[in-house]
Amino acid sequence: MKNFFDKNEPLAYSTLNAEFFGVSVKWPTHHTKKLDTFTKCRSSFPGSEDSKHRVYTGHQLRAFTGIKFENKEASLSQCDQVQDNDFIRYNETPMRWRDVKLSHPYSKWNFAGVASDQVASLRVNSRQGVTAFHYILLLDRSGSMSGANWDNLMIATKALIKGRIESGADDRITIIPFDDHVVHTDIFTNQKMNDINTNNIRFTGGGTEFGQPLQVVINVLSQLRNNNITPHLRTIILFISDGGAGYPKQQLDVLAPQVGQDIAEFWTVTIGGQNNMHKQINDRMQGTLKLAIDLTTLKAVFAEIIADRNCR
């Protein structure tokens, strides 16, 4: 961290930890979000050798690292967008960012950024103990999801996995691709996030049927309750589809009573326009319904889904 302060100022590092780890930023909109410019942008597991600080890029959505507004909505801006005229709360006092940089001891720090050839040497200590979950993703791969819809879904899925890996959580994940049936050899069941390669999730086309993938969810949850090998984690279910099908009453009657117990959360993500059947399913599961019309909104929805759990 020598790029940011005089190496002869030993107090600076402890000050950095004490005052910039989770400090709040006050924007002109009067929302507050944690300042992660120094501590949040990571490229790998916290504490690992290649957990590199990315102060100069800030390319990822802040929500993927758990940064939220005061009203609990996910922050979807980039990590490096703290401007000189923006306000932060410093010792509970609102101050402009430029004034903080001029004050002691920060006046001796170099805020100009880090050269690309210096990035490899940067290391930070990261927050530990993020709660782990078992994520179950039901991914619609019917014919109407072909092209951009499927490509965007894979990009957003990869970002979700990456965001949870970088949070340091020891999550597990099950991915259930479906159209009008489920191919069991295509299912990724209770795997580590690091073991998932989204390039291996096949697109097939076909019709749409919701009962079969939800039955797989029932089976997986039942198996995990009797599994003494991997830790029993509460489950977050993401149901993502652009199509309509019959109401899966039989499966929902089994799953709905598990909400609040094995099932921590249920999210329904509709690709494209409004879908009444999706709403019925979501209502039965007491879930959260989101609409995603393009890649930007889809990534934002996925970021919001994991934002409440990262950095706890």
Distances (CA, A) of 288 to 56, 236, 270, 285, 310: 35, 11, 11, 9, 18
| pLDDT confidence bin for 236, thresholds 50/70/90 | very high
pLDDT tens-digit series, residues 245-301? 999 999 999 999 999 999 999 999 999 888 899 999 999 999 999 999 888 889 889
Q: What are phi and psi of 83, to 5 degrees?
A: -95, 160
β-bridge partners, 239 = 138, 268
Q: Which residue did the predictor score with more confidence, 203 or 75?
A: 203
Q: What DSSP element (H or E) covers 307?
A: helix 295-307
Question: The tokens 């800030």 sit on which residue?
Answer: 58
Domains of the chain by start residue, with CATH: 11-121 (no CATH), 134-307 (3.40.50.410)
Question: Any long-range contacts for 199-202 (C-beta under 8 Å, 24+ apart)?
Answer: 201/139, 201/154, 201/157, 201/175, 201/177, 202/141, 202/177
What average pLDDT does the segment 66-91 reach? 58
pLDDT in tens, 147-187: 999 999 999 999 999 999 988 899 999 999 999 999 999 99
Query: Backbone phi, then psi, for 175, in 5-degree steps?
Result: -120, 125
pTM beyond 0.75, yes or no: no
